[in-house]
Every structure is written in structure tokens, then in C-alpha cells.
Structure 1
Amino acid sequence: MLDEIYLKRNWGSEYENVSILIAIAVNEDGYREVIGAREGMKEDKSSWTEFFKWLKGRGLDGVKLIVGDKCLGMLESVAEVFPEAEYQRCTVHFYRNIFSVVPRSKMELVAKMLKAIHAQESKTAAREKAKSVVEDLKAMKLKEAAKYIFWA
């Protein structure tokens, strides 16, 4: 799992926001561990590439799956530094993006629709369900939410 977080840092009497790229892996026993964090980077291609190369330099290898939000810099870097790895969109980020454009009154219904996509037993079935959900969202006048599903 890859992400960028922002923390406030106190230098004397001054506060500043600090960007940190973080990588969390699942170990052989199925537990999550932080495998790296770097301060002062951005979510652009050069920062992600530098971060990934730094992780590889520390011994990271055998990466099969990378999960993260869908920032373009990360996607480009994954393909370049870990060409053998598959990329998967983080479900939490996916839901947050959609809910950011859905009125509160419709969130429960939209959540059920999204869960129905993820409950499908095959990729083909999930894609068909997603197409159906997109049409339903458009009918509900939630075109922005429908765009996020296509973008995923």
C-alpha cells in the first residue's frame, strides 16, 4: 500500500506542513508493516520514482502487487520501477473520491451500489455491474460519481 500523508512539524515557534510518502507491505505471515517512509517528497513521478528506487536499494524485491490511489505520478513510476508488479486502485480512495461528489442524502444507496460491484465473483461480472451502476448514477443525476467509476 502506498500513500502520501501530511503532518505538521514544529520548528521552534513555526509550524509547517510536511509531505511524507509511505509504503506498507504485507509480510509472509499476513501482517502489515511499514517498509519505508520519506519526508519532503511530492506525489509526482520523480518523487515516486526516487522513493521506489530507495526502497529497492534497501532490499525490496519480489513486488507482485501495488495498491494506491490513482495519482498519475505513482502509476507512471510503478510501470517504470516495478514492471512485473500489478497495480490495484485502493478501495478506500475510490470510495472517498465518489462520496466527495455524492449528496449526503444519497450516500447510503450509492455505497450499496459500489459494494455490489466489489461483491461480483469475476472481473467480467464486476465490469458489467459497474456499467449498470454508472447508468443508474447517471439516471440519479450523479454524473460526476459515474465518471469516477470509469476512471477507476
Structure 2
Amino acid sequence: MVATAYLLGVSTRRVEKPAESLGVTQLSKSQVSAMARHLDEQVTAFRNRPLDTGPYAFVWADALTQKVREGGRIINVHALIAVGVNADGHREILGLDVATAEDGAGWLAFLRSLIARGLTGVQLVISDAHPGLVDAIGATLPGASWQRCRTHYARNLLSQVPKSAQPWVATLLRTVFEQPDTDAVQAQMTHVLDALEAKFPKAAAHLDAAQHDLLAFTAFPREIWRQIWSKNRRSV
């Protein structure tokens, strides 16, 4: 119960009521603080642990905006998160850091910390197209390819066409990812670009510029495409 309250950012005072429901009639502020410190130690140990179950062939990078209390004020911070596939084929949370801004400096420091802890063998990084993140990936993981998140890119592309045309464009783009092999994917991309060029040249140019990063997944086995073409699990 205390761990859940800790994760939700519940104040010491508000912990007392749920504690009473569990039969704990006396829970002082110092007791709650001591338990929170114990949890802090576990979180710190997890965040600083060696990354020794690699190589980590695939890494997903993302940032979540969270509200925190700092100096008596509520402010937004960015939780930088990396998830990787380890040598056993299982997903593993590699790291978590908090930055005041989602900029290149924050991502660069975060990725360097993962490498210092043992991140190796990265073949593909999946993320959105945040410029600071993409630059940091290139600077710290020069041997890795970059997969532009399919889900985020689709939203970018739809912003290039009238709202009335968005369902058609979304369906058209989806057909690229429904192909059985790399050659078919490339051929369908050409077909989609031609179709867009005829009606929405601006959108066609947008997709043409992004296609190589959007199709990076095709360099890997077909059976894992659905897992690596997006950082959004709902899109697989």
C-alpha cells in the first residue's frame, strides 16, 4: 500500500486513511518517511544496476510528461525511459531518468549513462522523431539503425492533408505495413507515394523524406516486424 502511494505521489497525510483500512491504526509521519526512504533505496539500486543481460539488440526510447511538486510548486518534468530486448529475448526496463526539458542534452546524458552501465549490441532504436533524441542516438550509438515510430509518423503525415482526406491517407499508409516481405513493402511504398502525389503533393514529399527511417524495420526478420516498427504497443 505504501509502495503504491509512493508511486502515485500521495502525501504522508493521505497515506493514513488507506492504512487504517488495512488495520494499521497508528502510522506516524516518520514511519511513512522511513518506508519511503527504503523505497527510494530500491529505486536507486534499480536505476543504477549493471546492464549485464545483453546484448540488447532492440531499444525503445520515449519520454513521459509528469507533474511533480518542487519547492512548493507543481511543475512538469520529463521522464526519459529506455526499454530493451535482452539476450534472453525478454523486454527489460533499462533506465529511467528525470529531466526538466526533453532536449538533446538530457537525452545525450541519459543514453551515455546506459552505455556506462553496460548497454551494448544495439542494432535498432525505436523512437519518435524528436530532434534532440535522434541526434543523441546518432552520437552515442553510431552502429545502430533508427526506426521512426510508425504511430507517431502517421499523425505527422495526416496533419499534411485536409481532415476529410485523413481516413483515406491513413488507410493508404497502413497498406505499406501489411505486405509480406521487404520487396513488397518497397513496392507498396512507391504506389502510395504515387497516389499521394496525384492528390496531395505536400504529403507525398513529407512521406518521401521519411520513408527510409520509417521502413528501417525491413532489415530485420519478418516475424518481429510488428514488435519493432513502433514504440506504441497498441499499434502492433
TM-score, scaled relative to structure 2: 0.55
Q: Of 170, 183, 197, which residue of structure 2 is paired with 1:111? A: 170
Q: Which has the larger radius of gyration?
A: 2
Partners of 2:75 and 2:81 lie apart in 1 by: 19
- 1:36 pairs with 2:92: no
Aligned to 2:135: 76
Cα 1:106–1:18 change in 2 (3 A) is same
Higher mean displacement: 48-57 or 68-77: 68-77
Total equivalences in the alignment = 151
Deviations 1:99-137 (A, max 9, x none): 333444333322221122123344454334223322322
Using the TM superposition, name which of 109-118 and 129-138 deviates more.
Answer: 129-138
SS, match of residue 135 in structure 1: helix
**Equivalent residue of 1:54, what SS?**
helix
Structure 1 pair 58–69 and aligned structure 2 pair: CA distance change class (3 A) = same
Pick which of 53-62 and 71-80 moved more. Answer: 71-80
Separation in 2, partners of 1:102, 1:6? 28
| Unaligned runs of at least 5 residues, structure 2 | 1-59, 211-236
The structure-2 alpha-carbon separation of the partners of 1:130 and 1:72, relative to structure 1 and needing over 3 Å to count, comes to same
Question: Is the contact made by 1:64 and 1:85 (CA closer than 8 Å) also made in structure 2?
Answer: yes
Q: Distance in 2 between matches of 1:87 and 1:41?
A: 25
Secondary structure of the 2:65 match is strand
**In 1: Cα distance, 2:81 partner to 2:116 partner:** 16
Match of 1:20, SS? strand
Query: In the alignment, which residue of structure 1 is the partner of 2:204?
Result: 146
Structure number with the higher strand fraction is 1
Aligned twin of 2:160: 101
The 1:100/1:26 distance shift into structure 2, 3 A limit, reads: farther
The alpha-carbon distance between structure 1 residues 80 and 93, as it changes in their structure 2 partners (threshold 3 A), is: same
Identical columns (%): 34
Which of 124, 134, 139 matches 1:65?
Answer: 124
2:114 is aligned to 55
Range moving further from structure 2, 11-20 or 59-68:
11-20
Q: How many angstroms does 1:52 deviate by?
A: 0.8
Letter in 1 for 2:68: R
Distance 2:209 2:76 in 1: 29
